[in-house]
Amino acid sequence: MTRSNNRELDRLRTEIADACRVLAARGLADGILGHVSLRIDDSMLLVRCRGPRERGLAFTVPDDVRLVDLDGAPAGPGELDEGYTVPNELPLHTEVLRARPEVRAVVHAHPPAVVAADLAGLAVRPIVGAFDIPGMRLAAGGVPVYPRGVLVRNRRLAQEMVNALGDRPVVVLRAHGLTSAAGSVEQAVLQAISVDTLSRLALDIASAGGSLVDLPDEDVAELPDLGGSFNTDTAWRHELARLRTPTPVSGERLDERR
């Protein structure tokens, strides 16, 4: 592999590590569970692996991201050295990539609100408008459910999940979490955040005694397409800024923490 290819892989490892930390910061991947992958070509992917000093997604570093083939074997020298292993649920990623050539990135997370809302019978629905336009459109297209609370640890189970996902960007995994598929790591993470936000709102509405109501068609028609630059690029810069900027506690200024 050339030096320029190595530099590009290093950049992508950093991108995936950042994505893992964003998921954790947003509460979608507490503890040591969850992973993110990115297709490199038809036979290889970068995926967040577990090492001998595993600390969870919130503490992911680029070195935790390893290059493997679709069967989980190392795709380069030293990729699974130092005690690193691929996720048990690697087939969850690789079967999506095999079935959906347009997908480059797969996110698997365990958002408690998504699990709770699904178990409570609250589907992901387009209940908001300008509050989250991409999330509304995602929900309006349907968020399917894979109804088995299993560890998706082999190709047979992963194919079941892929069948449930169909051509949609996100599938809820009952009693488990979610899988998000997209053309980029950033988009896959932002989709997961939108589904989590809608699930949180649904639980809040239900706990307040309300009923979920879909956004009226006339309101949907009024919502603009703000474009990928705003919906993805700007939103992702915000997520990275949240990781790297100290958040003051109530009543505390940032300059008091320096």
Q: Convert the pLDDT of each residue in 11-69 to its tens digit.
A: 999 999 999 999 999 999 989 999 999 999 999 999 999 999 999 999 999 999 999 99
Contact 40, 47 (CB under 8 A): no
The answer to whether the CB of 186 falls within 8 A of the CB of 229 is: no
Please, which residues bridge with residue 37 across strands?
Answer: 47, 106
Residue-wise burial string across 133-158, b where 16 or more C-beta atoms lie within 10 A, e elsewhere: bbbbebbeeebbebeeeeebeebebb
Name the nearest CA neighbour of 86 among 74, 100, 98: 74
Identify the residue with better confidence: 131 or 249: 131
Give the pLDDT of residue 227. Answer: 78
Tens of pLDDT, residue by residue over 184-235, are 999 999 999 999 999 999 999 999 999 999 999 999 999 998 877 778 999 9
The pTM assigned to this predicted structure is 0.93
Q: How confident is the model at residue 138 (pLDDT cuts 50, 70, 90)?
A: very high
Asked if residue 243 lies in contact with residue 21, where contact means CB atoms within 8 angstroms, the answer is yes
Q: What is the mean pLDDT of the chain?
A: 93
C-alpha 239/C-alpha 18 separation (Å) is 9
Residues that are catalytic:
89
Residue 3 pLDDT: 61
Separation of alpha carbons 180 and 110, rounded Å: 11
Return d(Cα 253, Cα 124) in angstroms, integer: 37
Which of these CATH numbers, 3.30.450.40, 3.40.50.300, 3.40.225.10, 2.40.50.140, describes 3-226? 3.40.225.10
